[in-house]
């Protein structure tokens, strides 16, 4: 059974075959973000009131640094694909959509790189 309309067959348009992958990536990153976010909140509670040296020592721990990196990657990627869906669904006009999608990628990349840089600077030292 074919799901394409005759008009889309003539135009060569149809499914971009990205919907299922996008759906699953959104769900997987969302599920992964739950325990990582709990870890992050617990870490904030543990470090509440700590001085600078203690905070650097905690964030410099290999286990904490790896979990923080996973948290950053997961949450930033989940944010990027979530905002992408909103832009694709609600921004009218092709050019405006392209500009907003590019801005989304640049913004999320900047946030991710800046966060990873800060964490590595703390955990490795420098």
- 39 found inside a domain: yes
Instruction: Give the pLDDT of residue 98.
Output: 96
Print the domain residue range for 48. Answer: 17-124
Q: Is residue 100 part of a domain?
A: yes
**Residue 12, pLDDT score:** 55
6 assigned to some structural domain: no
pLDDT of residue 19: 79
pLDDT string in tens for the chain (126-residue length): 566 666 665 565 555 667 788 899 999 999 999 999 999 999 999 999 999 999 999 999 999 999 999 999 999 999 999 999 999 999 999 999 999 999 999 999 999 999 999 999 998 875
The residue count of the chain comes to 126
The pLDDT value given to residue 29: 97
Total number of domains in the chain: 1
Asked if residue 80 belongs to a domain, the reply is yes
Q: What is the pLDDT of residue 32?
A: 97
Instruction: Return the pLDDT at 20.
Output: 86
Residue 12 lies in a domain: no
Is 94 a member of any domain? yes
Query: In CATH, what number is assigned to the domain containing residue 36?
Result: 1.20.1300.10
* Whole-number Cα distances in Å, 55 to 42, 72, 89, 94: 13, 18, 42, 46
Instruction: Give the pLDDT of residue 125.
Output: 78
So what's the pLDDT on residue 38? 98
SS3 sequence, 106-122?
HHHHHHHHHHHHHHHHH
């Amino acid at each position: 059974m074919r799901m394409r309309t005759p008009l889309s067959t003539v135009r060569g348009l149809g499914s971009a075959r990205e919907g299922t992958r996008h759906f699953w990536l959104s769900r997987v990153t969302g599920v992964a973000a739950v325990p990582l976010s709990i870890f992050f909140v617990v870490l904030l509670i543990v470090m509440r009131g700590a001085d600078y040296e203690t905070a650097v020592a905690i964030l410099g721990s290999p286990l904490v640094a790896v979990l923080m990196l996973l948290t950053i990657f997961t949450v930033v990627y989940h944010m990027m694909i979530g905002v992408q869906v909103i832009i694709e669904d609600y921004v009218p006009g092709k050019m405006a959509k392209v500009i907003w999608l590019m801005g989304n990628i640049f913004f999320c990349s900047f946030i991710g790189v800046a966060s990873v840089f800060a964490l590595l600077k703390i955990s490795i030292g420098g």
